Structure 1
């Protein structure tokens, strides 16, 4: 479980670094990036709310990685693939985070933020992996989890709309 979780966090840290570095390149067009980030936040928020259906990428196939990587490294490789693919629930939030990091243009901040995002993403996996006997108790938390996408959608739509309004001045 820990190796798989480490792979997920590592993939997100790398995405944060790349976004921050790209932000330095694209930061030469200051008005465009905030508008793109705001529109992306609106689209992803509407997708989470179910008002706009967007086909999100599935990402790399973890099974292919597992076959091509030595057995001791397979959990890390599968975690890397899982982290890159993300889940449909986290893709909208991850896309907005990556866009914001590109806008910010600070690779170390991007790495730190996505390390935190990744840690939050893997804690439930670690709990489930190490406490499989208490799985019925963990499943009772699913009722709370159903509210995460709509709340995230409202936050993304609000943030995107406010950013667009602020940039129209």
Structure 2
């Protein structure tokens, strides 16, 4: 198989798998501890406002809903998961996907928390690393936990798909 095709196929399988693990974590937190996640419609609202030049909100939760924001947000959530998996594969190589080890995946998961801290939360009007939220430390810990779970998901998805291609 062509290496480019294999790279894309593995990035999709691993990224989607890791994102599913992250979503299952959110369901677990909600059902067991009544901890709701931010909903991906907010991500869709943020992304849908960009073509009109609005990249930062005072508070995205107070912005008017956008048609299709849920679908936009959920699609972006999975596309971002695939992109993070592709970055991991670009760094560690395709060989890792054929014989996954835990630490690179976990490290990648932890590093990905930079995206919400430095891009999404400021864009939502929540400040860098949720500094403008009512409980920034709680928000930071939840983000770090979720992205750590994403890293675990990268490893698990790689383990489950290593023999597929």
Normalising by the residue count of structure 1, what TM-score does the alignment of the two structures yield? Answer: 0.29
User: Which is bigger in relative contact order (C-alpha 8 A, separation at least 6)?
Assistant: 1
